[in-house]
With several copies, the nearest count.
Chain A
Amino acid sequence: MINNLDLEHLRPYGDQLNDGVIQLSFTLPVPAGAKAREAAKRLIESMNFSDVQIVHSEDIGEDFTFFVVYAKTTRDVNYKEIKTLEVEVPKMGMEEINEKVFKYLKRQIVIVGATIGSDAHTVGLDSILNMKGYHGDSGLERYRAFKVYNLGSQVPPIELVKKAREYNADVILVSQVVTQRDIHIKQLTELADILDAEKLRDRVLLVVGGPRITHELAVELGYDAGFGSGTMPSEVASYIVEKMVKIS
């Protein structure tokens, strides 16, 4: 890291250490002009920004004005005290995982995966589950240690729970990609509630993934873990094994 960095008061770096420069863009539903510019400036100033420069403002039709702004934050953040909620697991190789599972559990781990509710995006889940995997990292189906049931897309939560029971699943993997109007929150909550109601929640490892999913959100919704954008299958595999072995 660069010299003279005050990690207790970390600030954005634009052109100089600690200058705090941030770029913003947004639209106000008022006609372009001096008054709109002033409104934009005041708004941004009211948000702990100083040196607000409206570098672009443009009429984008129907009395909308688009702004590009550069400004400096007056805030900083204590980087030293940050403890991330990220799932942190030692990354293990495929053989290591297989061996560990058979050594400690003496059987395959049963995994059921699906994208639930109205969500039809399967590419993300498939990247984790299918043999082929993701960016050269093999999917869970390739591991001897796992027995994978990929139920595909748009599976109603109740259906997923039924299947999990049927297959005696150890792990439920759900994918949620569409997040508009928080539909993912609704669907994930529904699944968690059904598992609770059916007294299955404590018997499964419940994991969610998707590009807008964070571990923090997952925990908040009562899941064991959450995986975001760019997740590798091996990370998920390592996490599952780590947890399953701990539970057993």
Chain B
Amino acid sequence: MRLELDGEMVERARKLAKEVTDEVQKFIDLRSTDSVERTVSRLFGIDGVNSEGAPLPNVVVDDVKIGGGLKRGIAYWIANGCVAKNLDPQGLAEAVGRKEFSLVKIPPQNEGLVDQKMDELAAKAIEKIEDVRNKRDKMLEELGDPKKPYIYVIVATGNIYEDVVQARAAVREGADIIAVIRSTAQSLLDFIPYGPTTEGYGGTYATQANFKIMREALDDIAPKVGRYVRLTNYASGLCMPEISAIAALEGLDMLLNDSMYGILFRNINMMRTFVDQYTSRLICAFSHITINTGEDNYIKTSDPIERAHTVTTSQLINEQFAIKAGMDPKYMGIGHAFEIDPDVENGFLYEVSHALLTRTLFPYATPKYMPPTRYMTGNIFKGYAQNTLYNLVSIMTDQSIHLLGMLTEAIHTPLVQDRYLAISNAKYVFNNAANFGSEIELKKDGFIQREAQKVLENAVSLLEHVKEVGLMAAIEEGTFGDISRRMDEGKGSDGVFVKGEDYSNPLIEEMERLLGVRR
């Protein structure tokens, strides 16, 4: 089954998306954020909390910020402190945490020594990340990469230990990817909670300890089921790059990470999000972490047929931002979703068309396909039928990452049996219709072809407009998800700052160099 797309139109779309993001990247390059600086602290080895429970990466960055030194970059202050106090970054941070001193109050040390320290800390961080990455790449190769579409399920009990139990059961049943959903509104926290947690709402807190616990559980069961099992979490919200950092350290395989989701759906400041996503994606690109973009969200609040082109537009923008962060396409989990009202006549044809469009536009990516959610109801049987067709569209159109729909979507986060039923439905359909997509052709100039072409054309028109007014203004206009956000609005705006002349961040620079995107 092949979609015939106008090749020129595709090129034009990509070019426009590039131009749109080029403009934004200029803003990004001039700035950093509190979270980017905390990311550096974390990768330099700072972890733990102070006696009041504040995470030490926050403590040191806040210390420098209050002291007015953040424009120079936290890397400098940590290196300077380490040299002065002859401590490692963790020791230094603990001392700051105990309020023994402030980093900005430490007299500037020999510049050569400080530079050397920064480079040394950066190199160590890089090495750590590489170690984890290489270990995972090796495991993936040894255990074997499961067949696509990967079966992706969520666990969301709020308690990491219950999550582990349920994740293990899901893996036994056939899950290839486990996503631990975060607790409601964690994205609005300007810090990452610490330690193993057992009390979340609608999900489990993303903490480094929780990552480790789940990673170990999955690594324990993977050899037993004879396939590599991927772990997913969320690099969204006010701690976007930091989460990427701890994910890199704990060997996660995927992160939900979108260049605009936080702006639109969490009312996070635009500049903050754009700057954060860049660092966040550098880390992902470097760590071989697949990102999952969030276009499914747009058609949760706007019409999935009429606004289909906003999904395409956002996908192209996400792709360009990922390219700017040096990401190999195979780590781009370009998002889309099966969200059309089940009562729409020929809704199935629209879904096939849209899903094929994503697949065809991004041939080297690993698209992430999301299930029906907004038109799921308390009728769990009906929901199970909707998920059956969703599974069919996925296997027909050759999707890569397949997030399973739950029959209880409208009711609660998944019960252990809901997940089982979802997995067995997907396995049934994937096997039963394995080669269906390659055994049929689309009618020439038929509905499916025309619909895809139309969506693409609309995306191009929209991109033209966005290019004209600029991405930020377009967001103000309510282009995506029918939501409007103003440039100066939103949470976390006070955490964005323009880098000083003397700003240094050798860690990020080294990653840029290694990824070939040194700017």
Chain A contact residue count (CB 8 A cutoff)? 38
With A27-B415, A118-B185 as known contacts, state yes or no: A56 contacts B162, CB within 8 Å: no
The CA of A16 and the CA of B420, in the complex, are separated in Å by 15
Of the stretches A59-67, A90-98, A188-196, the one at the interface is A59-67
Instruction: Tell me the A81-132 residues at the B interface (CB within 8 Å).
Output: 118-120, 122-123
**Is the CB–CB distance between B201 and A183 below 8 Å?**
yes
A-side binding surface: helix, strand, loop or mixed? loop
**A180 at interface by CB-CB < 8 Å:** yes
**Is the CB–CB distance between A70 and B412 below 8 Å?**
yes
**A248 at interface by CB-CB < 8 Å:** no
**B184 at interface by CB-CB < 8 Å:** yes
**B157 at interface by CB-CB < 8 Å:** yes
With A55-B410, A62-B165, A62-B172 as known contacts, state yes or no: A68 contacts B380, CB within 8 Å: yes
Rounded to whole Å, the gap between the CB of B495 and the closest CB of chain A is 18
Interface centre among A14, A23, A68 (most CB of B within 10 A): A68
The CA of A27 and the CA of B171, in the complex, are separated in Å by 17
**A181 at interface by CB-CB < 8 Å:** yes
With A55-B378, A61-B168 as known contacts, state yes or no: A119 contacts B162, CB within 8 Å: no
**Is the CB–CB distance between B169 and A56 below 8 Å?**
no
- Can you list, as one digit per residue, whether each of B236-263 has a CB less than 8 Å from chain A (1) or not (0)? 0000000000000000000000000000
Rounded to whole Å, the gap between the CB of A16 and the closest CB of chain B is 6
**Is the CB–CB distance between A16 and B157 below 8 Å?**
yes
Instruction: Tell me the B114-162 residues at the A interface (CB within 8 Å).
Output: 157-159, 162
**Is the CB–CB distance between B420 and A60 below 8 Å?**
yes
The CA of A120 and the CA of B188, in the complex, are separated in Å by 11
The CA of A181 and the CA of B157, in the complex, are separated in Å by 9
The CA of A2 and the CA of B301, in the complex, are separated in Å by 40
Q: Name the contact of B184 in the complex, choosing from A2, A70, A119 (C-beta under 8 A).
A: A119
Instruction: Tell me the A37-61 residues at the B interface (CB within 8 Å).
Output: 53-56, 58, 60-61
Q: Name the contact of A66 in the complex, choosing from B171, B377, B412, B420 (C-beta under 8 A).
A: B420
Chain B contact residue count (CB 8 A cutoff)? 38
A153 proximity list for chain B (CB < 8 A): 267
**B438 at interface by CB-CB < 8 Å:** no
Rounded to whole Å, the gap between the CB of B210 and the closest CB of chain A is 17
Rounded to whole Å, the gap between the CB of A198 and the closest CB of chain B is 25
The CA of A181 and the CA of B199, in the complex, are separated in Å by 9
**Is the CB–CB distance between A17 and B412 below 8 Å?**
no
**Is the CB–CB distance between B158 and A180 below 8 Å?**
yes
**Is the CB–CB distance between B168 and A15 below 8 Å?**
no
B301 proximity list for chain A (CB < 8 A): 122-123
A26 proximity list for chain B (CB < 8 A): 417
**A154 at interface by CB-CB < 8 Å:** yes
**Is the CB–CB distance between B411 and A70 below 8 Å?**
yes
Rounded to whole Å, the gap between the CB of A159 and the closest CB of chain B is 14
Closest A residue to B415 by beta carbon equals A14
**Is the CB–CB distance between A21 and B415 below 8 Å?**
yes
- Can you list, as one digit per residue, whether each of A142-186 has a CB less than 8 Å from chain B (1) or not (0)? 000000000011100000000000000000000000111101000
**B510 at interface by CB-CB < 8 Å:** no
**Is the CB–CB distance between A64 and B416 below 8 Å?**
yes
The CA of A66 and the CA of B202, in the complex, are separated in Å by 23
**B170 at interface by CB-CB < 8 Å:** yes
Q: Name the contact of A16 in the complex, choosing from B159, B201, B379, B414 (C-beta under 8 A).
A: B159
**B300 at interface by CB-CB < 8 Å:** yes
**A229 at interface by CB-CB < 8 Å:** yes
A56 proximity list for chain B (CB < 8 A): 377-380
With A2-B165, A180-B201, A180-B202 as known contacts, state yes or no: A55 contacts B411, CB within 8 Å: yes
**Is the CB–CB distance between A61 and B169 below 8 Å?**
yes
With A17-B162, A119-B184 as known contacts, state yes or no: A58 contacts B379, CB within 8 Å: yes
The CA of A23 and the CA of B158, in the complex, are separated in Å by 21
Rounded to whole Å, the gap between the CB of A109 and the closest CB of chain B is 27
A120 proximity list for chain B (CB < 8 A): 184-185, 265-266
**B219 at interface by CB-CB < 8 Å:** no
**Is the CB–CB distance between B201 and A61 below 8 Å?**
no
The CA of A178 and the CA of B184, in the complex, are separated in Å by 9
**A79 at interface by CB-CB < 8 Å:** no
**Is the CB–CB distance between B415 and A15 below 8 Å?**
yes
Rounded to whole Å, the gap between the CB of A84 and the closest CB of chain B is 19
**B173 at interface by CB-CB < 8 Å:** yes
Interface centre among A70, A122, A152 (most CB of B within 10 A): A70
**A74 at interface by CB-CB < 8 Å:** no
Rounded to whole Å, the gap between the CB of A162 and the closest CB of chain B is 18
Rounded to whole Å, the gap between the CB of B286 and the closest CB of chain A is 31
The CA of A21 and the CA of B412, in the complex, are separated in Å by 11
3 closest pairs, A vs B, by CB?
A: A61-B172, A56-B378, A55-B378
